Amino acid sequence: MGLAIFNDQIIMSEGEFQDIAIFPQINNAGGSLDKDWYVFFSYRHPRTNRMKRFRVTKGINQHKTKKARLNACKKIQQDYRRKLEDKWNPFTDGDRLYADNISYTQEPGKRYQSTSEKFEHTIEHYLSETLENHKVNVRPATFQAYQTHARKFIEWLEKNNLDQQRIGLLTTADAQKFLNEMRLPNGRMAHIKTRWAYRNNLKRLFNLLLKQSTVITENPFSNTELPPAETTQAKRAFRDYEIDKIKAYCEKNQEEEIWAVIQFIFYTFIRPGELRNLKVNDIDLERGVITVRADISKNKKKQDVTIPKAFMLFLTEYIKDKYPKHYVFGVNGKRRGEEFFRLRMKKILDELGFESDVSLYSWKHTGVIAFYNRTKNIKAVQQQLRHHSLDQVNAYLHSLGLNINEEARDNFPTL
């Protein structure tokens, strides 16, 4: 049976058109050299009859320039396109590829099904299966962290020719070696806090696997060791003269977007992760509220935040020419990246000579302190923070150095 090309897919030439594969494409991580680039394609699974996405890296991320990475991607793209045109099948070929949850597959219900013992007993398969089984029990951000950490572990196993062994043969020594050798894309050793995060998440994944399956009898990460994670100083609020300094910088350098982000956080206490997902039509200027949708809220509940009068004029001007369905912060309808706000703020703070005890999140602390000091109304602060209890607000205010017991301080009688 011959193959024909139709709408960038390989299809059967006899009978009804039946797509088999989608040709390779390049993911360049938005041009960032700090993230993995890869080539991906899809192929119909012979058993489930569903399209399965595969990911190929093959030395792409060893290159340190965009041009070199792009050339490597294009070569791999051409090679795999040629293979697919020659009727190559990734499910039966010995070429090792990524699939399922560890390889960015996000389609619910799609589970990896092996076609041979080689695939059935690999570490990648079982970690992917464990992720799928527990996806509904964790927040999306947590699930993404599990994916990333599992993916990096699999990549390390492949580099050390350990990826094809049965998962039950993985030892504590292997896990410890992985943690000891963890490095950043630039080759530097990963920070100890990063290594602890990997260790804890992979330990949790293997504990879940241990509970649901008999393929392992012990957790290889349980007895791994790392140096104690150094404690870091909590971020503080900005002082008045620092606010003036940053405001002047933004005005001088036409940093309208980051100044808008600062004001959003200062006045509304909306978290940066929620803010990047906020759309123009979530803002109701007539009612004077911003709706934080359940799908972007940290606690998965739809909640309204009051727009202070001090923020209303700027906000009205800022969104007046934006399309209602577009993101408040983005370009051509596409939202900003996850790290965009933080990195832009860090660049400004670095240029102005600030220490590491302040960050983008410091604007929330600054707004909370200003609002409480003006009103002394802890209930109003709680509502704007969207905290579920006054105890939670009290603990937060105390962490900011505020003296909550104003009555005792100001009105206690003299002995």
- Tell me the per-residue pLDDT of 382-394, one tens digit each, with 9 for 90 and over: 999 999 888 888 8
SS3 for 366-402 is HHHHHHHHHHCCHHHHHHHHCCCCHHHHHHHHHHCCC
Q: Is 282 helix (H, G, I), strand (E, B) or coil?
A: helix
181: which residues sit within 8 A by CB, 6+ positions away? 156
Please give the pLDDT value at position 21.
Answer: 84
- Tell me the per-residue pLDDT of 282-320, one tens digit each, with 9 for 90 and over: 999 999 999 999 989 887 789 999 999 999 999 999 999
- Tell me the per-residue pLDDT of 215-242, one tens digit each, with 9 for 90 and over: 888 999 999 988 765 444 567 999 999 9
The overall average pLDDT reported for the chain is 83
Residue of 199, 104, 213 whose CA lies nearest to 151: 104
Domains of the chain, with CATH numbers? Answer: 1-97 (no CATH), 122-231 (1.10.150.130), 240-409 (1.10.443.10)
φ, ψ of residue 261 in degrees (nearest 5)? -60, -45
